[in-house]
Structure 1
Amino acid sequence: MVKHYEFFVTTEDEYYTTYIGDTVKAFIEESGVQNGIVSVVTAHTNCGIIVTEPLDCILSDLNVLLHRLVDDDAEYSHAHFLPTYGRTSANAYGHLRSILVGNSTTLSLVNGKACMGEAQEIVFMEFDGPQARKVFVDIIGE
């Protein structure tokens, strides 16, 4: 059985994080799938999805790290005129941070529950907001 779901995250700032595990778990329950996998993917190239401990200090530290690794004001090729777009893009840092973080996670399902540790949560991360962002959840199994 395959079940597909979609939902939107409305981000509030250029760098924004929110916990989406409850939404994913509700879809798992609704799907009726007991054993298999769940895939969570953002449809955008300036966002990320991670699994980490749900502590705001971890997300704050990750923000600091990503800004150290990918400077907002660096001279990126992407910040110049892009013939394919017909314009200049000013969000290279968002793309690069998304590449570092990744835009998806996949979890095992056993007995209708996502296999996660007690101190784990699914986090959506925005790197070029505020925006309305689509997230896909695919649940595959029996």
Structure 2
Amino acid sequence: MVVYESFTLLTKDYNQLIVLTDKISEVVLESGIKNGIVAVITKHTTTGITVNESLECLENDIQTFLERLIPEDFPYTHARMLRSYGSTAGNPTGHLKAHITGNNCVFPIVEGEIVKGDAQDIYFCEFDGPARRTVSISIIGE
């Protein structure tokens, strides 16, 4: 059996980490699938999906690390007029941060629950907000 679900987030900040664990667990429970896998995927190239411990101090460290690794004031090639879009690309850092965090995560489901470590949480990462964003969830199992 395959269950597909999606939901929309309205992000508030240019860079933002949002914990999705409870929402994903709720969707898995409502799917009725007892054993299988769940895949969480962002539909945007300047956002990410990642897994880490949900601590405010760690979230700050992650944001600081990405800002140091991918500074806003670097002369990126992508920060130029894109004729195909008819506008200037102002989000090269978003694309690069999303490249680092990845766009998905996958967890096993056993007896109707996501199998993850006690400290693991699923994050949606916004790197070009605020914006309206869509997250896809595919649950495969029986």
Shorter-chain TM-score: what band?
Answer: over 0.9
Secondary structure at the aligned position of 1:45 is classed as: coil
Displacement after TM superposition at 1:107 (Å)? 0.6
1:41 counterpart residue number: 41
Aligned positions, number: 142
Displacement after TM superposition at 1:87 (Å)? 2.3
Displacement after TM superposition at 1:44 (Å)? 0.5
RMSD value over aligned CA atoms?
Answer: 0.8
**C-alpha distance in 2 between matches for 1:125 and 1:57:** 16
**C-alpha distance in 2 between matches for 1:119 and 1:30:** 23
Secondary structure at the aligned position of 1:78 is classed as: coil
Mapped pair 1:109 → 2:109: yes
1:32 counterpart residue number: 32
Displacement after TM superposition at 1:83 (Å)? 2.8
Q: Relative to structure 2, which stretch is displaced further, 29-38 or 82-91?
A: 82-91
1:98 counterpart residue number: 98
- Give the letter for the 1:69 counterpart: L
- Give the letter for the 2:32 counterpart: G
Secondary structure at the aligned position of 2:78 is classed as: helix
1:21-62: CA deviations, max 9, x gaps? 111001100111111110000110111111111101111100
Displacement after TM superposition at 1:127 (Å)? 0.5
Displacement after TM superposition at 1:82 (Å)? 1.8
**C-alpha distance in 2 between matches for 1:87 and 1:129:** 17
Secondary structure at the aligned position of 1:41 is classed as: strand
**C-alpha distance in 2 between matches for 1:2 and 1:111:** 16
1:69-105: CA deviations, max 9, x gaps? 1011111111012232232110000000000111110
**C-alpha distance in 2 between matches for 1:51 and 1:92:** 23
Matches within 5 A, 1:51-66: 51-66=51-66
- Give the letter for the 1:27 counterpart: V
1:18 counterpart residue number: 18
**C-alpha distance in 2 between matches for 1:11 and 1:104:** 18
1:118 counterpart residue number: 118
1:130 counterpart residue number: 130
**C-alpha distance in 1 between matches for 2:21 and 2:9:** 12
